[in-house]
Amino acid sequence: MLVPLRVRDVMTETVETTTPETTVTTAATRLTEADIGSLVVVDGGTPVGIVTRSDLVAVLAADGDPEATTVETVMSTSLETVAADAGLGRAAETLRDHGITHLPVTADGELVGILTATDLSYYLPKLSPASDWHERGGRARLGSDEVAYESAEWEFTHSRENGAPVGVGDVVRFSKDLSDDDVRSFAGASGDTNRLHLDDGFAADTRFGRRIAHGTLVAGVISAALARIPGLTVYLSQDLRFLGPVGVGETVTAVCEVAEELDEGRYRLLTAVYDEDGERVVEGEAVVLVDELPYSEEEKLEPVEDD
């Protein structure tokens, strides 16, 4: 059974807080020292509001006295929170619907952590509506049974009819845009924060003259294509040759062709990635193992229970 991640699994447990009685001066000092943009306001352990840098600046703009003004008078009391046991899809919806980037996490009314849009981006790319599939009571699939969800922005084709077993000559294609969000999320998840991928000014002075996507991120669309081969695809090996750069925001297409059936469910495939101009930017070969999916047709219709 697929087990959905909960907010408690990805939240930050250490939360910078303050109290309603704290002065604006003290709160501003806390924000500066911690290099953060907001403080959760708690009263007896219960979150009652949030105060931001802009709230504190507004006091000065109105010629207020930051030494005499308390957080209680400037904080926002319309505080949105999320339960620690809630699914990530629900948290993403709350952030999106209220136009906020920080979400205090509670358990039994007590503050136990904080969840940010950045935290979620590592698990729900682009905070896609499809990412909350587990919140809708089942294994929601917009395309094939091999993947947890699809996005309307992605394109996938397979040369063999649905339900037919994989065979030599089969071709799968997968296309997606490698957005700025994708590149930055990949940098955070992988730790590869090379300025060539993230800093426009720096990249402009390199041989590429622009920011480019990580090579392994570009090659990752090969994995996306292979995941949609009928059955459960397991990577055994992949060799790659990087032939050219891909700019941030470009659409890339992976094309994978089954070249040889080996033994015991293993297949050798020719793999390639093309940029939006049709130029081949990555090529190589892969060997995969294709197992049967681990549930029956009846099980596919059963909802995933939220334990």
**CA distance linking residue 269 with residue 227, whole number of Å:** 13
Q: Based on the number of CB atoms within 10 Å of its own CB, is 8 exposed (0-12), middle (13-18) or buried (19 or more)?
A: middle
Mean pLDDT across the stretch 135-140? Answer: 35
Please give the pLDDT value at position 290. 87
Report the amino acid identity of residue 244: G
Q: Compute the mean pLDDT over every residue in the chain, rounded to the nearest whole number.
A: 81
Mean pLDDT across the stretch 93-121? Answer: 83
pLDDT digits (tens, 9 = 90+) for 194-217: 999 999 999 999 999 999 999 999
**CA distance linking residue 252 with residue 271, whole number of Å:** 13
**CA distance linking residue 301 with residue 296, whole number of Å:** 9
Domain boundaries, the chain: 7-121, 144-291
- 59 vs 118: which has the higher pLDDT: 59
Is the four-CA dihedral 75, 109, 114, 84 of positive or negative sign?
A: negative
What CATH architecture applies to the domain 144-291? Answer: Roll (3.10)
Q: 126-154 b/e with 16+ CB inside 10 Å = b?
A: bbbebbbbbbeeebeeeeebbeebbeeeb
Quickly list DSSP for 144-172: -TTSS---TT-EEEESSPTTPPP-TT-EE
Please give the pLDDT value at position 144. 56
Q: What is the CATH T-level fold of the domain 7-121, as seen in this structure?
A: CBS-domain (3.10.580)
